[in-house]
Amino acid sequence: MNPRFAFALLPLALAAGVASAQDASPAGDPKATEQWTPVPPVVTPGRSDAAPPSDAIVLFDGRNLDQWEASKDHSPARWKVHDGVATVDKATGNIQTRRRFGSYQLHLEWRVPEGITGDGQARGNSGVFLASTGPGDEGYEIQILDSYRNTTYVNGQAASIYKQAPPRVNAMRPPGQWQSYDIVWTAPVFGADGTLKSPAYVTVLHNGVLVQDHVRLAGETFYIGQPKYKPYDRAPIKLQAHGDPSQPISFRNIWVRPLD
Ligand code: MG
């Protein structure tokens, strides 16, 4: 066999193996995929300003969520828009773009409310799913969380590729201040028969600081179980309405530049 072809099939074989084990025990143990050390060093970010470039598709400019829909039923997104920001409405669930994307550059800004309460994953949890492959939390998540002096498993802190890769450093600003993500997403490519032809890669800057450097993904990001790929073509970008009881976070200035 062509060695390159064999290499491409390897993750699929591994994924098939863990998929059956995972299906046999759907409850599973979420701790099995938590990594706690080493803890990424803290870096204080500089100030940044990221107005949309001229060729960007503006997904949210502070006025309305016309570019977004509820993930569960494709009805209009009902998160609250006020004072130029959109705030998560946990009651109405995840929202996603009406448009679908392949590879792209994405900018978004998010803010944990001042006075946030809670600990670990239950403190300002949200997330940006770079390709949403289902109505729930399916897809490829870059974690959004209050990781300013808040300990959790490092591959679940802010700017992690959830349960796959911790950020290289912790560039978190304190609650009440705006944070930015600048993300370059190279979408996975699948053959007509659903086999993985090319894996996904992601580069992430958090507050202008490089935290994920062209990291190869092992598949979709799961709360329980190992990552695995599921074929898709183009997919929406999704924002998570996480069920934790802490105060909801807000978003502003979201734009995307398709790269294919
Ligand atoms: Mg999350």
Distance 127 CA to ligand 1 centre (A): 4
13: pLDDT strictly greater than 60: no
Distance 21 CA to ligand 1 centre (A): 25
- Residue 101 to residues 85, 174, 257, Cα–Cα distance (Å): 23, 32, 10
pTM, full prediction:
0.84
> What number is the average pLDDT over the span 227-255?
97
pLDDT tens-digit readout, 19-32: 444 445 568 999 99
Percentage above 90 pLDDT, the chain: 83
9: pLDDT strictly greater than 80: no
* Residue predicted with more confidence, 217 or 4: 217
DSSP secondary structure code for residue 42 in this structure = B
Cα separation of 170 and 250, whole Å? 20
17: pLDDT strictly greater than 50: no
Confidence band for 55, pLDDT divided at 50, 70 and 90: confident
* pLDDT given for residue 7 in this prediction: 43
- Residue 202 to residues 46, 51, 105, 142, 148, Cα–Cα distance (Å): 22, 22, 10, 9, 23
Confidence band for 52, pLDDT divided at 50, 70 and 90: confident
* pLDDT given for residue 53 in this prediction: 83
48: pLDDT strictly greater than 50: yes
Q: Where are the domains of the chain?
A: 3-19+55-258
Collect residues with CB below 5 Å from ion ligand 1: 125, 127, 240
Distance 173 CA to ligand 1 centre (A): 18
> What number is the average pLDDT over the span 212-234?
97
Do 155 and 147 contact (CB within 8 A), yes or no?
A: no
Distance 93 CA to ligand 1 centre (A): 13
Distance 193 CA to ligand 1 centre (A): 31
The full DSSP string for 141-177 is: EEEE---SS----GGGSTTSBTTTB--SSB-PPPTTS
Cα separation of 105 and 94, whole Å? 21
Q: Torsions phi, psi of 23, nearest 5?
A: -65, -30
What's the 3-state SS for 124-136?
Answer: CCEEEECCCCCCC
Distance 162 CA to ligand 1 centre (A): 8
Token representation of residue 28 = 């599973």
> What number is the average pLDDT over the span 34-62?
84
**Closest-CA residue to 33 (of 114, 123, 154):** 154
* Average pLDDT, rounded, for the chain: 90
Distance 144 CA to ligand 1 centre (A): 6
**Closest-CA residue to 235 (of 107, 131, 89):** 131
pLDDT tens-digit readout, 80-100: 999 999 999 999 999 999 999
243: pLDDT strictly greater than 70: yes
pLDDT tens-digit readout, 100-122: 999 999 999 999 999 999 999 99
Distance 159 CA to ligand 1 centre (A): 10
Cα separation of 36 and 242, whole Å? 21
CATH superfamily ID and name for 3-19+55-258? Exo-inulinase; domain 1 (2.60.120.560)
* pLDDT given for residue 49 in this prediction: 60
Distance 240 CA to ligand 1 centre (A): 6
